[in-house]
Chains A and B, each alone.
Chain A
């Protein structure tokens, strides 16, 4: 079976290139990661991240036949051959399939991804109704693999400014948590033409999410909350075309 893999080792290569490997598949090879491990055994210079091999740690996001996904839960049978593997796009490549995710996590940090409660906690647990808890489903399960954010054209355009689908999904997870008291502060933090409104509902994020989550829906939820709670400072139409003004 032929697999073409993006290769770049800054120690040696002036330019990236694609290398085609011919790997023998046996019955026990079900996931793409199984094949990549075999290739690594043939050529130990190939670098990639991997860990849990069951889709919960988020290490092995890559671009598979043009679509972002996790190698460990992508079935070989579901892929068109020859398989073409590239790093997830939009982030600097460190080596081969390993990208530098600093920018991605900076956006995550920027939304204050932790519970803010103004009341001192009770002796036992805070109470939360099952209905309120249900609002976190589809949000808390994010594994920070970066598949969604790096599939988003808005992120490619403004990687340093647009928080991106993964970060915004997380922001919404705290916005809808009945235990969190910082709704206004969180909404203000995102009330910005680039941080939030750069999203134009292209929905690549929901399409690629290996956990079946929909950042797109969460972003729509944030925008709705912006409109409902107060008049956003940022007026969508005006400032999209006058980005400079928003910096003042």
Chain B
């Protein structure tokens, strides 16, 4: 059965970015629907721990310009300076709005929002660490997501919950006219015909074996965009968070180091002093992750396999840990069998965040391919988008900020620009390709098992595209992922029932993961330099002469094109290129 819906705007994804966008649109007289694969508060924003950055200056003097500099430096100069200015300048207002909605921020003694130090966040252009990250204990994402969902309840936003997006609807002009989605509870298809389609589908960390990401982070938006021939930007840049729990992969916030925790190797040495003499444990994430990987390579790892390091925080005392890091204590006891009040937590760099994504303008409008023309009716916000504020490496506590600043910007742009806009006619046979794909999955024609292929894919990505990247491994990896792509086109499931068939969902997700993996591997193989999170053994240095440019992966033929980094901010002077030292 196919159900038909018409809306002015549809938001695909119910995490922080999607809910901030829908909030902007709701109450404006527009008809809006949020379509989400999971109940909105189950979205992965919920797992963000440490906080959200903004130069509120609640603890010490601070300026958004300093935040801007830190973000540019953190991005290893690959972030676009106009987008970064926009985000940092609008950060404080975005935080105050969250507070006005009721977000339960921690407070200073004077009643203002509590802020903690975070990696790469400094005062006076790199002078020393600064408290800029606004926090709700170590549950900031949870508090933010629930607050945004609650605001949407107040505004009576319409939700389609447990519907998974399958394909974008694009007409022959290339305009986006909505989405084809599958209702999990019934197995029915829905055609969502809309003037504006906003993707807020989140990340895709599940292309890797060891990931802090939730099971739902399967790059559905990127898969749909790729199938609709929309280029993906900067996909070689994946953030490895320095402190995932060894073995389990569960995230331990950078806020631990912000509050004074530090890393030690098997010799009990605070090794970050060697790698980042000034910022030490609060250097940016790519730097800390590489340092840990180096310690492990040189035999100073801890644990049975000597493949991690310790994060120690017992010196902070039980009282502070229980007040500021209660979730970390809970997680460490459950997943690492250690109580951080007494013992250090074994950690290892773990895939955490996708810096790349669907290319967009500052208004969230999707930019198509090399021509950089905007796609009519199509927006992307949050982790699935690449605006690009994070460049080659995201600073901790800038991701929650990205969601709300650009979620709002996209919503506002839609309101400002869609007056008088009419629904275009849907193309004929709009569901044809989608139905063919679904039939194939149901056909039982092949012996290709989605679960096995998923495991294979994750193993290949883990081995061939890790913290350090090697030319031969990248070459082989690309061949392997291409082979897997062929096989994944032929997957089929054993159980063909309609109602809440999660085997079907997982098969569909795998067809999105493979698009992300291919884009990642191809972009990584092509970029012959080391920048931010992309670190190559054969090109160990940043090469601004050749590579100060964004990768644009074309999913149609796997080719790559490039566009220059925007070095010109909106209103302030450009921050010139510098060597990046912490």
Contact = CB atoms under 8 A, between A and B. Distances in A.
The answer to whether A and B belong to the same complex is yes
Interface of A: 9-12, 28, 30, 40-41, 44-45, 47-59, 73, 75, 94-96, 98, 100-101, 105, 109, 112-115, 117, 121, 123-130, 132-133, 136, 140-141, 143-144, 174, 177, 179-180
A57 B46 contact: yes
B488 interface: no
A30 B113 CA distance: 38
Q: How large is the interface on B (under 10, 10 to 19, 20 to 34, 35 or more residues)?
A: 35 or more
Contacts of B106: 130, 133
28 contacts: A11-B497, A11-B499, A28-B247, A44-B503, A49-B42, A51-B38, A51-B42, A51-B214, A52-B42, A52-B214, A53-B214, A53-B215, A54-B251, A56-B46, A56-B47, A58-B42, A94-B500, A95-B499, A100-B185, A115-B150, A125-B113, A127-B110, A127-B111, A130-B107, A132-B107, A140-B136, A140-B146, A144-B41
A130 B102 contact: no
Contacts of B108: 130
Interface string B413-451: 000000000000000000000000000000000000001
A136 B494 CA distance: 48
Contact of B100 (A49, A50, A121, A180): A121
Contacts, number: 151
Nearest to B143: A140
Interface in B97-142: 99-102, 104-113, 136, 139, 142
A57 B502 contact: no
Contact of A45 (B248, B331, B334, B494): B494
A51 B216 contact: yes
Contacts of B105: 125, 133
B334 A55 contact: yes
B425 to A, nearest CB: 35
User: Top 4 A-B pairs ranked by shortest CB distance?
Assistant: A115-B102, A127-B111, A44-B503, A45-B495
Nearest to B496: A11
B548 interface: no
A98 B500 contact: yes
Interface in B128-167: 136, 139, 142-143, 146, 150-151, 153-154
Given A11-B498, A47-B501, A52-B46, A115 B107 contact: no
Given A10-B499, A53-B215, A125-B95, A177 B102 contact: yes
A41 B494 CA distance: 11
Contact of A54 (B47, B113, B146, B497): B47
B309 interface: no
B500 A47 contact: yes
Nearest to B142: A56
A93 to B, nearest CB: 10
B150 A114 contact: yes
B499 A59 contact: no
A136 B106 CA distance: 10
Nearest to A177: B102
A42 to B, nearest CB: 10
A181 to B, nearest CB: 12
A127 B503 contact: no
B66 interface: no
Contact of A48 (B42, B331, B498, B502): B502
B96 interface: yes
A214 B499 CA distance: 35
A44 B493 CA distance: 8
Contact of A130 (B38, B109, B251, B331): B109
B575 interface: no
Nearest to B337: A30
Interface of B: 38-39, 41-44, 46-47, 56, 92, 95-96, 99-102, 104-113, 136, 139, 142-143, 146, 150-151, 153-154, 185, 214-216, 247-248, 250-251, 327, 330-331, 334-335, 451, 493-495, 497-503
A86 B480 CA distance: 41
B454 to A, nearest CB: 10
B185 A94 contact: yes
Q: Which of B102, B153, B335, B501: most chain A Cβ within 10 A?
A: B102
B448 to A, nearest CB: 13
B493 to A, nearest CB: 6
A121 B99 CA distance: 9
Contact of B494 (A44, A49, A130): A44
Given A51-B215, A58-B42, A114-B102, A127 B112 contact: yes
A236 to B, nearest CB: 30
B142 A125 contact: no
Contacts of A125: 56, 95-96, 99-100, 105, 112-113
A94 B499 contact: yes
B38 A179 contact: no
Contact of A59 (B42, B109, B142): B42
Given A54-B331, A94-B185, A126 B501 contact: no
A58 B498 CA distance: 24
Contact of A114 (B92, B153, B335): B153
B41 A143 contact: yes
A163 B112 CA distance: 34
A9 B497 contact: yes
Contacts of B143: 140
A125 B150 CA distance: 19
Given A52-B44, A121-B100, 4 more contacts: A11-B499, A52-B215, A114-B102, A125-B99
Contacts of B99: 125-126
Contacts of A95: 499-500
A206 to B, nearest CB: 17
Nearest to B327: A56
B64 to A, nearest CB: 14
A54 B250 CA distance: 7
A48 to B, nearest CB: 7
A126 to B, nearest CB: 6
Contact of B42 (A57, A73, A129, A177): A57
Contacts of A51: 38, 42, 44, 214-216
A50 B95 CA distance: 30
Q: Which of A10, A56, A113, A126: most chain B Cβ within 10 A?
A: A56
B215 A58 contact: no
A197 B79 CA distance: 56
Contacts of B500: 47, 94-96, 98
A130 to B, nearest CB: 5
B130 to A, nearest CB: 19
A56 B151 CA distance: 20
Nearest to A212: B330
